[in-house]
Amino acid sequence: MFELFKEKASALMAEVYSFKNRKEALEFIKGFIKENTSYEDKNSVVWYDTWFLDGERKEDLLAELPQITFEFTPEIASQAKIGINEVDGAIAESGSLIEVSNRIQKRLVSSLTEIHIAILPKSRIFPDLKTALRSFNLTNVPYVTLISGPSRTADIERVLTIGVHGPERVIIVCVENL
Amino acid sequence: MLKEEIKKALENPVISKALTNFYEAYVVAREKAYAGLDFEEIRNEIVRVKSYAAEHFDELIKKFTEQATKRGAKVFYTKDPKEVINYVLEVAKTHNVKTIVKSKSMATEEIHLNKHLKEAGLEVHETDLGEWIIQLAGQRPSHMVLPAIHLTRYEVSDIFTKKVDAVEPDIKKMVKFARKNLRDKFLKADLGITGANIAVAETGSIVIFTNEGNARLVLTLPKVHIAVVGIEKLVDKLEDIDPIVKALPRNATAQPITTYVSFITGEREHWDGTKKEVHIILFDNGRSEMAKDPVFKEALQCIRCASCLNVCPVFRLISGLVFGRVYTGGIGTILTAWTEGLKATKDIQNLCIQCGNCVKICPGKINIPDLILEIRRRLAEEEGLPLKVKAIYSVVNNRKLFHTALRMASKLQKPFKQGPFIRHLPLAFAELTQERSLPAIADKPFRDQVKKIKQPDAKEKVAFFAGCLIDFAYPEIGEALVKLLNQAGIKVIFPQDQTCCGAPALYNGVMDVAANNMLQNLKALEQENPDFIISACPTCTLVLKKKGLLALRNQKVSQDLIAKAEKMAEKVIDASYFIHKLIKEGRITFSKPLEEEFTYHDPCHLKRSLNIWQEPRESLQKAGLKLKEMFESDICCGMGGSYSLKFPEISVKILERKLKNIQDTGVNLVCTDCPGCIMQIRGGADKKGLDFKVKHSLEVLAERL
């Protein structure tokens, strides 16, 4: 299932990485942040976290990477280069991520930033849309988005161009043992 | 007015180039996007889901309203466009709204919402890149999915520079420019307005598709969100969205999936913890009336992918700037008939050439050409016909008068005739021969010539229905058919009372004349009690076999006559199919199987209405010919019967492309099975001095017996 998902998501220009555990995934994310932002750029990373950093000391992370912020407004998210959140599932047949956001902040990081890092539990990859829809009780969720690759347009001369209103890169961090 | 717009569009070098380039890439990419999926199965699902919804609008509106309301949305249903506008203005007033961001919504365009909002002093920004460009330019979208496809990067750069700020004509830079400029609008807006692609009754959710991600910002950032949703977007169950999610992006832009598919199911809280408001306006404007119409309810299966525009040979020349109003192209014409009224389609409905290329691609399985024909018929019924048209059909309605007129024309044409062609006509008729020569009317029609042909006495006999073109312009095609059938031991009879098949009247909505033609032919043909009725013109075949029956039913002729016509219809076979069968059975053999290369042009009605395309190719190959396929062999040649008289300027443009595709094969022989296509392609080749031959397959086969 993961292989099919990776193939389909990569075809949509998403970048897919797989890690054995949370620690490895976190190391990758930290490295990515260091490579793409400077610690002097305050608020250049907006992170909406609900479980991934459980057990980590956020103060330590902030000391190491002060460009991260866990509290933000739309204006701040709009200026940020990287947005990080956990997604709730994925669809193998189309290479899509499923983002369920009860709170609006969760979707700000994936809709306003330049780079979206999506943390995906490997166990939550569904074969197809129908199966995925059955596993989410939509009636209890105000907002769900399927995200399939970076934001794109072809409105000028039909030339495919990446990164219009949403992120121009989507990095999928798939974690096996959680 | 329409003629001027057509002229302007045809003279614009960008429009047809952009649409044609897109189309060529689209056809290939769409195939790829559907790889591994069964399109027929998906579209059958869409038909099931959407037709169910259309039959249960009242119930689904009620269910959706209950469910969405329960989850905190405010739902408002109305039939009246004015009430939509008032509702939006009221919400804006209540929340002291100054600026509005919008993501693309056809329903709001249908009621010209932006205009009303602006008049009320509100600032409105479209945020889909194409729509924003069009809004800044003060233009109309040229395509439902690709609104700015008629503009070049240079024009876009000019528009941006004039209306917003200086930017180079570099696409990447202009996209970034849009991101930056619109980002401020998103953050400052007090109200976001969207449409919806689907509304799910079971959960009260609306589903919105965007590639750019603008809709997510429109419905997330402002405190108030209004979705304006046509009731045709309703589906019953959540799982009903599956075939639409699959087909919409694949058919619209050949993408496997739209980048963002968002579900909104009643939201209560804004990002800062304050209250958020979601309003859903379920909007009717003629849709529930449409659902009650036994013919037009089919159009509610449309998912607005606009693939019918992508493959339309007329649309790709003139775009939605000419072909359509708010909704464009063939489907746009049908929707306009209901949202704006039948009269609003008076001019544009004529633009459909009836080639049927859209039918095979429509994910809602809507027979667009048939529905346009029905518009034509209702218009003729309601508005009456222009005097000129009436005069023509009163002649066609009377066989003797009609045939006398054709015989007279054969004499009158003498001064203009050069060999088998008429290359120039004077005065008002000059345009008809400007880009293509017309066939001269034969000295002796087939109905006279056939009497002199000696045929073997055979047990099997078939009746030949010649149709006007073979009878009066190309009798040699009729002779070829007789020769072929005689070899198989079949006698051909030619009922002399046969007349025009009725297609010209039928395709112009003149149903009484079409029905009368049908009845005359029925009488003439059944008298002889033939085993089969053979036609060598696919349009005649189609009318005798299918369409003519509709005309009879429409004119409410007696059940007895309809039963007789149905019996006759069963006996009607297109010559291309019948001859192929005889060849396969070994009843026709070739003693002169000369090797020669040929290319084949598929007549629209033969391929798409009668589903015959392999048979004529096989027959010709059996006779020793070698096939070299041309590009787009099944795209219309531009003839379309009387279409080429109504819109010669469009007809010849379509023809030019066909001629080029033929030339590109480097082959000297084009075969086809329709005398109308022969008239068009041969005439174009003659005018341009091209040296390939254009022949009916029957002629080529008969030469090789």
Best interface-test mutation with A: which of B34, B216, B280 has the largest number of A CBs within 10 A?
B216
Q: Which of residues 578-617 of B touch A (CB under 8 A)?
A: none
Beta-carbon separation of A157 and B172 below 8 A: no
CB pairs under 8 A between A and B: 165
Note whether B121 and B239 are same-domain residues: yes
To which H or E segment does residue B422 belong? strand B421-422
Question: Which residue, among B183, A116, B146, has the nearest Cα to B175 in the 3D structure?
Answer: B183
Contact B363, B303 (CB under 8 A): yes
Note whether B27 and B55 are same-domain residues: no
The CA distances from residue B133 to B158, B174, B194, in Å, are 10, 11, 18
Confidence bin at A22 (pLDDT 50/70/90):
very high
**SS3 call for B207:** strand
Inform me whether the pLDDT recorded for B174 exceeds 90: yes
Beta-carbon separation of B239 and A147 below 8 A: no
Phi, psi for B75 (deg, rounded to 5) = -115, 135
- What amino acid occupies position A5? F
The residue extents of the domains of chain A are 2-177
Inform me whether the pLDDT recorded for B431 exceeds 80: no
CA A162/CA A157 separation, integer angstroms: 14
Is B604 among the domain residues?
yes
Q: Which of residues 49-78 of A touch B (CB under 8 A)?
A: 73-75, 78
Residue of B nearest to A139 (CA): B203
Contact B288, B61 (CB under 8 A): no
DSSP B238: G
Closest Cα of chain B to A85: distance in Å?
Answer: 16
Is B69 among the domain residues?
yes
What would the mean pLDDT of A39-43 be, rounded to a whole number?
A: 92
Note whether B21 and B115 are same-domain residues: no
Note whether B237 and B349 are same-domain residues: no
Q: Which ranges of B189-234 does DSSP label H, i.e. alpha helix?
A: 214-220
Q: Domain with B628 in it: what CATH number? A: 3.40.50.1860
Beta-carbon separation of A103 and B269 below 8 A: yes
From the candidate CATH numbers 3.90.1150.10, 1.10.760.10, 3.40.50.10420, 3.20.20.20, the one assigned to the domain spanning A2-177: 3.40.50.10420
Inform me whether the pLDDT recorded for B427 exceeds 80: no
Spell out a b/e string for A27-62, using b for 16 or more CB atoms within 10 Å of the CB, else e: ebbeebbeebbeeeeebbbbbbbeebbeeeeeeebe
Q: Which of residues 474-533 of B touch A (CB under 8 A)?
A: none
Tokens describing residue B264: 């909104």
Is B405 among the domain residues?
no
Residue with tokens 């480097």: B666
pLDDT averaged over every residue in chain B: 94
Note whether B323 and B348 are same-domain residues: yes
Note whether B608 and B638 are same-domain residues: yes
Q: How many domains does chain B have?
A: 4
Note whether B532 and B654 are same-domain residues: no
CA B182/CA A78 separation, integer angstroms: 12
What would the mean pLDDT of B309-334 be, rounded to a whole number?
A: 94
**pLDDT single digits (tens) A152-173:** 999 999 899 999 999 999 999 9
Q: Which of residues 122-141 of A touch B (CB under 8 A)?
A: 129-130, 133-134, 138-139, 141
What would the mean pLDDT of B531-536 be, rounded to a whole number?
A: 96
Q: Is B217 on the interface with A (CB under 8 A)?
A: yes
pLDDT averaged over every residue in chain A: 94
How many CA atoms are closer than 13 Å to the CA of B662, on its beta-carbon side?
29
CA B510/CA B396 separation, integer angstroms: 11
Best interface-test mutation with B: which of A164, A168, A169, A170 has the largest number of B CBs within 10 A?
A164
Confidence bin at B367 (pLDDT 50/70/90):
very high
Note whether B260 and B310 are same-domain residues: no
Least confident of B155-159, B215-219, B432-436: B432-436
Q: Which of residues 15-34 of A touch B (CB under 8 A)?
A: none
Q: How many residues are recorded in chain A?
A: 178
What would the mean pLDDT of B308-329 be, rounded to a whole number?
A: 94
Q: Regarding predicted confidence, which is higher, B385 or A12?
A: A12
CA B232/CA A71 separation, integer angstroms: 41
Q: Is A83 on the interface with B (CB under 8 A)?
A: no
pLDDT for position B429:
67
Residue of A nearest to B244 (CA): A129
Note whether B610 and B694 are same-domain residues: yes
Closest Cα of chain B to A23: distance in Å?
Answer: 30
What would the mean pLDDT of B167-177 be, rounded to a whole number?
A: 96
In chain A, what residues touch B183 (CB-CB under 8 Å)? 78, 165
Q: Is B353 on the interface with A (CB under 8 A)?
A: no
Contact A84, A74 (CB under 8 A): no
What would the mean pLDDT of B216-244 be, rounded to a whole number?
A: 96
Note whether B430 and B561 are same-domain residues: yes
**pLDDT single digits (tens) A92-112:** 999 999 999 888 999 999 999
Is B409 among the domain residues?
no
The number of angstroms, rounded, from the C-alpha of B627 to the middle of its chain's C-alpha atoms is: 29
Q: Is A166 on the interface with B (CB under 8 A)?
A: yes
Is B231 among the domain residues?
yes
Q: Regarding predicted confidence, which is higher, B426 or B501?
A: B501
CA B235/CA B49 separation, integer angstroms: 7
Question: Which residue, among B233, B219, B175, has the nearest Cα to B73 in the 3D structure?
Answer: B219
Q: Report the predicted TM-score, pTM, of the whole model to 2 decimal places.
A: 0.93
- Beta pairing partners, A2: none
pLDDT for position A66:
96
In chain A, what residues touch B174 (CB-CB under 8 Å)? 156
Beta-carbon separation of B221 and A147 below 8 A: no
Tokens describing residue B631: 């590009």
pLDDT for position B87:
98
Residue of A nearest to B222 (CA): A74
On the 0-12 / 13-18 / 19+ scale of CB atoms within 10 A, B430 is exposed
Beta-carbon separation of B129 and A148 below 8 A: no
Beta strands in B25-98, from DSSP E residues, in sequence order: 74-78
CA B536/CA B477 separation, integer angstroms: 8
Q: Is B242 on the interface with A (CB under 8 A)?
A: yes
Is B166 among the domain residues?
no
CB-CB: which of A112, A139, A153 is closest to B211?
Answer: A153
Note whether B110 and B237 are same-domain residues: yes
**pLDDT single digits (tens) B247-271:** 999 999 999 999 999 999 977 889 8
Q: Is B154 on the interface with A (CB under 8 A)?
A: no
Confidence bin at B428 (pLDDT 50/70/90):
low
pLDDT for position B488:
95
Domain that holds residue B53: 46-127+190-288
Tokens describing residue B704: 């090789």
Tokens describing residue B697: 């397959």
Note whether B547 and B612 are same-domain residues: no
**pLDDT single digits (tens) B674-685:** 999 999 999 999
CB-CB: which of B187, B216, B238 is closest to A111?
Answer: B216
Q: Regarding predicted confidence, which is higher, B600 or B458?
A: B600
Q: Is A95 on the interface with B (CB under 8 A)?
A: yes
Least confident of B55-59, B507-511, B566-570: B507-511
Question: Which residue, among B28, B45, B33, has the nearest Cα to B365 in the 3D structure?
Answer: B45
Q: Which of residues 39-68 of B touch A (CB under 8 A)?
A: 67
Inform me whether the pLDDT recorded for A74 exceeds 70: yes
Residue that is last in its domain, among B314, B346, B379: B379
Contact B375, B345 (CB under 8 A): yes
Q: Domain with B88 in it: what CATH number? A: 3.40.50.10420
